[in-house]
Structure 1
Amino acid sequence: MTLTLKRLTILAARELEETLVEALLDLQPALPGFTTALVSGHGEGFARATVQESVRGRIDRLQLWIVLPDSDVHRVLDMLAARFAHSRIRWWIEPVDAMGELA
């Protein structure tokens, strides 16, 4: 049987970084790991942007990537929905065709 992997991408307000990372680290069974980066969003949808973001033309966000078994994706999303229900977190799921380490 082949393990089906997915990449869950999460975008959130930067001020949620510590509580979001803590929630993901506390999840049991534990996640295999994840990556975070501070990113900028561009495009339409500046209705909730700060004045500074509106002037700069980009919105500051935290982005997280988690590669995990397909069976765990909704467990993570359910926890996020319960703990961060009104936080306007965006997410999407992508297939992972292959993954490895070059050594």
Structure 2
Amino acid sequence: MKNNQIVLTQEQKENFQRFLDLGDRYRYSYFWGDNGNGSRRSYIEKRDYLSYKTTVNGVEYEIYFSVSMSRKNVYVTKYVYKNGVKTTARVIRTLMDKAVDDTVS
């Protein structure tokens, strides 16, 4: 069994961590309540948008996260593709857990 080390760039770490953090923040997003005025909702939709493609050890990953807000509802769309096959966010969490710290030289 081959044990390939996973080395992530700083950009990959930041984007993967942001994706996981957004998922945690909006875990219970299907709530009803006043979401403020239109400019606030627009700001949140732009702030909490992420679309990122990258390759790690020859495997292509694509992550996407968006928030859509109406006056009373919050809708979250997120997905992860690994080599073009839809999968769960657990794949990203596993990558982050198994990544080797590349700052040691």
Under a length normalisation based on structure 1, what TM-score does the superposition of the two structures give? 0.25
The structure with the larger Rg is 2
Tell me: higher relative CO, structure 1 or 2? Use CA pairs within 8 A at least 6 residues apart.
Answer: 1
